[in-house]
Amino acid sequence: MTQHVLVIGGGQNAEHEISLETAAGITGALRSRGFEVSGITIGRDGLWRHGKRPLGTSAAASLAAALPLLEQADVVFPAVHGPLGEDGTLAALCALAQRPVVGSGPRAGAVGMDKWVTKLVAEAIGIRVAPGRLVRATDKEDIEFETEVVVKPVSAGSSYGVTLARDAVQLDEAVRMASRYDDQILIEHVVHGREIDVAVLREADGSRWAAPPLEIHSSGLFDTATKYDGTARFTVPADLGGTDRAAITQAALAMFDALGCSGVARVDFFLTDDGPVLNEVNTMPGMTAESQVPRMFAAAGVPYGELVARLVGAATVPGWPASDGCEVG
């Protein structure tokens, strides 16, 4: 019997357009593999839409109208990056509705979205992170400049609001920029090293494995503009020695396990002379055919269509053990 997958894209954050591209890519790949696919878009205004038609005149009404579409789907594929999506919000909705969902559950999504909490988890399991501090936007007059730093919103993706500051004036502006996306701001010392990403996949049988690492080549900070203007170059597999590859892969698997991730996650590192330093974890990374995660799995012999099909095959109801009959398939 053909599985019906409901793909949810859009979202109420800065990554709305990027999410639409991810949703379109996933939809096309699943249809090419024989799945029945329908789609919902969450507008920037919070209205849920089926096609171009709003499902209600308010966010609450449109969500209520969307619930029957969730019920009719065999699997929900949330392709919403960033807050109110990747942060576990949609996974929690599916858990309450008892619908199988692709990807990580509410806890892993929420922790992975919070860069500060992710750093605490990494340190607790022995993975190095950049020295940093957490501040609120309202504290900016009390922030002292110490050294070259990177300023980030705690919960935002695609490097929105991420700025390099080399002096006190730049720091003040960087904090203002980050505060557009979150009222909690992370200030980190700059880490000098190669930028290496690792994608980890949990299969339907519960096993998980890492694809060949990818290296990002950019002339400066890998910010939002560099990510999407075509100037960044990627090498996959990254040119790593056996020791470095083993260390960075083991660190990625350890973070995936510590956060309790499912589906796929991208774990980003700086590779220094002293080993890997965690940058961040993405539990709903970009998933167009040209995105970093599909590139890594393609290098492992898993083409894009097969990757998204495996993600659907591994979907479960968050929080429900498989023995309760909540498996998909």
pLDDT in tens, 257-287: 999 999 999 999 999 999 999 999 999 999 9
Q: Checking DSSP bridges between strand 214-217 and strand 53-54, what pairing results, if any?
A: unpaired
Question: Could you give the CA distance from residue 187 to residue 165 in angstroms, rounded to a whole number?
Answer: 10
Give the residue among 167, 283, 160, 136 at the shortest CA–CA distance from 222. Answer: 160
Judged against a pLDDT cut of 80, whether residue 321 lies above it is answered with no
Cβ-Cβ contacts under 8 Å for 91 (sequence gap 6 or more): 78, 101, 103, 104, 105, 106, 109, 318
Cβ proximity of 188 and 152 under 8 Å: yes
User: Domains of the chain (ranges plus CATH)?
Assistant: 4-103+320-324 (3.40.50.20), 111-128+191-313 (3.30.470.20), 131-189 (3.30.1490.20)
Structural tokens at position 102: 């692709």
What pLDDT, on a 0 to 100 scale, did the predictor assign at position 128?
97
Location of structure tokens 């790949």: 29
pLDDT digits (tens, 9 = 90+) for 134-173: 988 777 556 666 678 999 998 876 677 888 988 888 888 8
Place of tokens 């479960």: 316
What distance in Å separates the CA atoms of residue 51 and residue 266, rounded to the nearest whole number?
A: 30
Question: How far does CA 63 lie from the centroid of its chain?
Answer: 23
Is residue 65 helix, strand or coil?
Answer: helix
Residue 231 has pLDDT above 90, yes or no: no
State how far the Cα of 319 lies from the Cα of 285, in Å rounded to an integer: 22
Per residue in 85-114, pLDDT (tens digit) is 999 999 999 999 999 999 999 999 999 999
Asked if residue 135 lies in contact with residue 143, where contact means CB atoms within 8 angstroms, the answer is yes
Which residue's entry shows tokens 């607790």?
Answer: 124
Asked if the model's pLDDT at residue 326 lies above 90, the reply is no
Report which of 182, 134, 160, 123 is spatially closest to residue 15, judged by C-alpha positions.
Answer: 160
Structure tokens at 201: 């996949």
Question: What pLDDT is stored for residue 325 in this prediction?
Answer: 39
Strands 132-136 and 128-129: unpaired
DSSP 275-313: EEEEEEEESS---STTSHHHHHHHHTT--HHHHHHHHHH
Residue type, 40: I
Give rounded-to-5 percent helix, strand, coil for the chain.
35, 25, 40
| 41: DSSP letter | E
pLDDT of 217 over the 60 cut? yes
Q: Give the pLDDT band (50/70/90) at residue 328.
A: very low
State in Å, rounded, how far the first CA of the chain is from the last one.
9
d(CA 87, CA 105): 9
Torsion angles phi and psi, residue 52, rounded to 5: -95, 0
